[in-house]
Amino acid sequence: MPTDRTRPPTLKTPPESAVLYHACRSGDTNVQQAAYETLWGYLLPVVFFLVREQPDADDLAQDCAQQALVRIHQRLAECHEPVAFRTWARRIACNLTIDELRRRKRLTPLPDAEQEPSSAVALVQTQAAPDEEVLRSFGQMELRELLNQAPLSERSRRTIIGRYLDELADEAMAQTESDLAGTAVLPSHIQVTRAKNMAKLRTWQPLQTFLHEHV
């Protein structure tokens, strides 16, 4: 896997998730190198969004993205759906980054009693944004875990989570489902599946309780 995080990706166009997954597992060093560099380019903006309010956001984003690549490399065998590899990798990167933000929050010293009020206010303002970002991310993680327990088929669950949590386009999800089913699935099929299952979820009590507590 790549260790030089400053090099640009050598793959000119982003490959499909399954292709990227198999390239990361390739025994060809050049193919694997290019795959991880492509994955780096995909994960870095995701991680930067989470840490953007940190004073060292650029360096922190690169560190977290690099650590995520190492963890992804170590856990490749745990990805059981290659067609969802990028989503799986993004989840690892986000969780790792959130852990780092939480660690920083725990290590932040409280202002001294003799500290100037203006300095204390500045410290609080500096720390507030990352904490809010962590809370929002954990809310999404909890919702994802809840939906994984919902009385839905695997395809229906992917359709709901893909649209509302992963912000995937219907065309992308249709391609994923086509690859899994071995037959053509149209974006209109995704839309119908989502509409039917949203109606079912509106009467599912665990979800209603979650929304009542978080909205």
Q: Which domains does the chain have, with CATH numbers?
A: 11-107 (1.10.1740.10), 131-215 (1.10.10)
pTM for the model stands at: 0.49
Judged against a pLDDT cut of 90, whether residue 140 lies above it is answered with no
Residue 1's pLDDT is 56
Provide the mean pLDDT of the chain.
77
Judged against a pLDDT cut of 70, whether residue 131 lies above it is answered with no
Residue 28's pLDDT is 93
Rounded to an integer, the average pLDDT of 160-174 is 82
Judged against a pLDDT cut of 60, whether residue 122 lies above it is answered with no
Distance CA 45, CA 94 (A): 11
60-112 pLDDT, tens per residue? 999 999 999 999 999 999 888 888 888 889 889 988 888 888 888 776 554 44
Contact between residue 146 and residue 210 where contact means Cβ atoms under 8 Å apart: yes
Residue 20's pLDDT is 93
Rounded to an integer, the average pLDDT of 110-139 is 40
